[in-house]
A and B are shown apart, each in its own frame.
Chain A
Amino acid sequence: MNDLTNAVSPPEQAGRPGGRIRSRRPVRRVLPWLPMAGVALLTVFAVVGPWLIPYGESQGSLQGRLAPPFRTGGDGAFHLLGTDQLGRDIFVRLAYGARVSLLVGVVGVALACLIGTAVGLLAGILNKSVDAVLMRGTDVALSIPGLLIAILLASIFTPSIVTVFVSVGLLLWPTYARLIRGEVLVLKNSDFVALARVAGCSTWKIIVRHLLPNVLPSIIVLATLQIGAAVVLEASISFLGVGLPPNKASWGSMIDQGRQYMSTSWWLTAIPGLFIFLAVMSFNALGDWARVRFDPRLEGHR
């Protein structure tokens, strides 16, 4: 159904400056230092952040609640980024939230990648009826709004980080399936696959030895592009209160819980949102760089 959406997204490279002759800037940086630094900082923050400050994830005192950043709270303790409505240290909770976001980004995307690549490879290489069934399945999966899947899963199972992984995986896999299928359909008719068949390779061997290595660059680029989307998704799921259990810190639920105190304590919502924004910006910039560098055809896939 949506083959056209893929077919119509033209590679950015195909364009030319609108008729004017102008000197093009030197094409691409060797490495995207800024986003890489962002991701590295975030990772370090997630790993060591909780140890930098002597407060626990859900430890707080009500006397020290709603302390502004860089001040000493009502309980006489110093909190770098302030405290929330229960007196819990925001810096520590942000660090735990960073762990959640990174984990969901990596595991959720890996899951999507696994399902989507398998479906795409099989749909592309096997016969037409398998293809039809798998692609209709993909259409159905795409047609249910992603957040609804998360909400429904949360209503069926006890919310935990695993349901968040599954929601993100279920939401993102169709993009892989479509992309990989499209590439396999092209590769299938190439000489080296025909030769492999003549040489007596089984379908399984063709998939593993000949198709998979050829679609790998696209998989990696799409994965990089989707981590940002996964982080936003996790934030939205937790914001709706259907993600991790409420006492666990997550950037999305921090925004939600801070909303009630918005008029007096802006930092409860502003700071976690800023972290989401910077993290997603970094991942997206990294993904865009990878796309242009390795696989310009992927413009429009996100």
Chain B
Amino acid sequence: MLKFILVKLTQALVSVFGASIIVFLLARASGDPVNLMVSANATTEEIESLRATLGLDRSLLEQYLTFLSNALRGDFGQSIHYHRPAVDVVMSSVGATLMLGSIAFLVTVLLAVPAGVYAAARRDGRFDRCVRGLAAAAQALPSPWVGTLLILLFSVTLGVLPTSGSQGWQSFILPVTTLVIFAIAGLLRLTRSSMLETLGTEYVRFARVKGVSERAVLWRHAFRNASLSVLTLGALVLLSMLSGSIIVETVFGWPGIGRAVVQAVNQRDFPVVQVIVLFMSVAYIMGNFVVDVLYACLNPRIRSA
């Protein structure tokens, strides 16, 4: 087990390393930051001296190593737009994203899991067909459109909910709904299909023969075994909230990192972009690592793989 964790951890760290290289190269490819920092009538000497101060005159490898060692100490340079450390700028908006994402995740799980279980219990029944149709629709709904229509209906026409911002519990309703619609289809389908699989097994049939109540068969015998794959995908859904937040936060003017990254790109504020991209990909890689380990704890068959 320890060996398994170590292997997975090494893989995760290698991936983080790879992600840092990509982030670094993208930032370099995005153009010379000096041109954005100096005034239009700066002399060549001034530009050169600024380049030297920033270390831009050294080789790419040297620059990367500097970037890496600074990054490990949590230093990503100054935000070009806000004139304070890029990490601080990002940290002040992470909370809003995490709050929105975790609430949307909870709602998604609380809706998708019971719906998937009961849809599988009565396969091809009315409820199942309904749920499948809704899942197919949710998968095809573009979130910018859903968000905009929700604002149009509840904020503009009915005037009951705020259009944007994050003041008060009312302002959570529309963004959370949009994120849930964005994320729910996959989890719902997977819950349903893994339930269908476990419901067809010997032990479930035996439990039925034994006279166990339908409810106990569903939840205690079938769902408990189906929950492994639900758990895996569930964690990925939580992580996909991060990328979903880019659109949702832009639509609803939510002060999180999704909106921050779009703004930072428009302002060419690359230190901030770097921090957010790295944050999101490290969160994804580490989240996957945790899922792998959790999965192995729960399912001994995986460990040897």
Contacts and interface: CB of A to CB of B under 8 A. Distances in A.
A246 to B, nearest CB: 13
B142 A232 contact: yes
Main secondary structure of the interface of A (DSSP, over half): helix
Main secondary structure of the interface of B (DSSP, over half): helix
A256 B250 CA distance: 10
A269 B143 CA distance: 12
B194 interface: yes
Given A139-B15, A144-B22, A145-B242, A269 B149 contact: yes
A277 B140 contact: yes
A156 interface: yes
Interface string B283-304: 0110011001001000000100
Interface in A224-241: 228, 232, 235-236, 239-241
A154 B265 contact: yes
B245 to A, nearest CB: 9
B253 to A, nearest CB: 11
A19 B148 contact: no
Contacts of A272: 145
A300 B208 CA distance: 29
Interface string A135-155: 011011011111110011011
A281 B288 CA distance: 30
Interface string B4-18: 000010011011001
Interface in A18-70: 18-19, 22, 24-25
Interface in B141-156: 141-145, 148-149, 151-152, 156
Q: Which of A16, A270, A281 has the most CB of B within 10 A?
A: A16
Interface stretch (A1-9, A83-91, A122-130): A1-9
Given A10-B197, A255-B145, A19 B232 contact: no
Interface residues of A, number: 65
A252 interface: yes
Q: Which of A24, A140, A154 has the most CB of B within 10 A?
A: A140
Interface string B184-199: 0010011001111101
A217 B175 CA distance: 39
A270 B149 contact: yes
Contacts of B31: 156
Classify chain B's interface size: 35 or more
B277 interface: yes
B177 to A, nearest CB: 16
Contacts of A137: 18
Contact of B265 (A152, A258, A262, A263): A152
A18 B120 contact: yes
A258 B147 CA distance: 13
Given A152-B277, A232-B142, A277-B142, A15 B199 contact: yes
B273 A152 contact: yes
A155 B270 CA distance: 10
B58 interface: no
Contacts of A2: 288
22 contacts: A1-B285, A5-B236, A10-B229, A12-B193, A14-B196, A19-B204, A19-B205, A22-B124, A136-B18, A144-B22, A144-B280, A145-B284, A148-B246, A239-B247, A240-B250, A259-B251, A262-B148, A269-B149, A273-B142, A276-B142, A277-B142, A300-B193
**Top-8 shortest CB links A-B:** A15-B196, A273-B145, A145-B243, A8-B229, A16-B200, A280-B140, A140-B18, A143-B281
Given A147-B247, A148-B277, A280-B139, 20 more contacts: A5-B232, A8-B229, A9-B194, A9-B229, A15-B123, A15-B200, A19-B208, A22-B124, A24-B124, A148-B246, A151-B246, A156-B31, A236-B142, A236-B247, A239-B250, A258-B148, A263-B156, A276-B140, A276-B145, A288-B136
